[in-house]
Amino acid sequence: MTDISFDGQVAIVTGAGGGLGRTYALELARRGAAVVVNDLGGTVAGVGDDSSAAQRVVDEVRAAGGEAVPSYDSVSTPEGGAAIVGAALDSFGRVDVVINNAGILRDRTFAKLEWADLDAVLDVHLKGAFYVSQPAFRAMKEGGYGRFVFTASNAGVFGNFGQANYGAAKSGLVGLSNVLAIEGAKSGIASNVIMPVARTRMTEEILGPLAGALDPDQVTPMVVFLASRACELTHEVFSAAGGRYSRVFTGLTRGWYAGDRPASAEDVADHLGEIEDRDGYIVPTSVADELQQLLPLLRRSGAVSTS
């Protein structure tokens, strides 16, 4: 494959003052992108702010001969999102790539979860991605090109003890990406999701003995590919961890069709084997794909006309 270049392109990376986001910003800049390095610079729990985080990464990019500007705005307000995209448009005149990466943790078991910790986590991960992505999406539509990468987590998509707020926010991002993929398709906009696993300040204690093997730089190639012109995939989710790159998908089984008679709860219990059988499942890319799967069954039973 020819080298992947970002020459002439402009990328926004949120939460790029450290951890995974820093590696994305450095690699995109090394490959020619002008980068907005956004970071509020607070703690893992999202307390405080510190402009030195974003500034340090901007200095690193420039020292390596790349082009970058800092942004210290929080993703968690509409004004912050607009200012982050504004920094790209004011400094570089366009936006081609948005990597929604900023994140915090407020882990509590569900029984003990306080609403302030729900709000803080939803505001940064889920609403923050809306606030940054909408102004960027509008600019990309005008330019007829764009690449979004949203950062989900195995904690949400697969589930993890003590992370109800974080898991719900992260799974919500899959829904947002899927809709952007559909709405952006005719404007050359692709949207995909990364589920990283890597040693950062957020995870080094949680990962324990695995931490040493899970370098953030091993996530970077997947994210940089998804952010590039070379990526024609959209509406997909990928896991990257310790040098293993996988696709994660939501499948719909062929299921059990009750026919033209109403099913009872007992019927459902009796047919669980067919409902759960993975043979012949599909991976829908829109609501239409599910309806396409259903339609022949409805036609066969006469529930809808064949004409």
Residues forming contacts to ligand NAI in the complex (CB under 6 A) are 14-15, 17-21, 38-42, 44, 46, 53, 74-76, 101-104, 124, 128, 151, 153, 196-198, 200-203
Q: φ and ψ at 294, to 5 degrees? A: -80, -35
10 Å Cβ neighbour count for 169?
27
By beta-carbon proximity to ligand NAI, the closer residue of 119 and 277 is: 119
Give least dist CB 219 to ligand NAI, A: 8
For the CB of residue 289, give the shortest distance to ligand NAI in the complex, in Å. Answer: 28
Closest separation in Å from C-beta 137 to ligand NAI: 19
Of these residues, 131, 166, 257, 281, which one is catalytic?
166
Residue closer to ligand NAI by CB (options 128, 284) is 128
């990597």: which residue's tokens?
99
* Interaxial angle between packed helices 128-143 and 164-184, expressed in degrees from 0 to 180 and rounded to the nearest 10: 10
- In the complex with ligand NAI, which residue's Cβ is closer, 101 or 220? 101
Q: How are beta strands 67-71 and 97-100 bridged, if at all?
A: unpaired
102 versus 227: smaller Cβ distance to ligand NAI: 102
Burial 101-140 (b: 16+ CB within 10 A, else e): bbbbbbbeeeeebeeebbebbbbbbbbbbbbbbebbbebb
Spatial separation of the C-alpha atoms in residues 246 and 238, rounded to whole Å: 6
Nearest residue to ligand NAI, scored by beta-carbon proximity: 19
DSSP string for residues in 19-31: HHHHHHHHHHHHT
Closest distance between ligand NAI and the C-beta of residue 100, in Å? 8
Structure token pair of residue 55:
């500034």
Closest CB to ligand NAI among 17 and 135?
Answer: 17
What tokens were used for 263? 């099913």
Classified as helix, coil or strand, 204 is helix
* 145 classed as catalytic: no
Q: How far is the CB of 55 from ligand NAI (least distance, A)?
A: 12
Catalytically active residues are 166
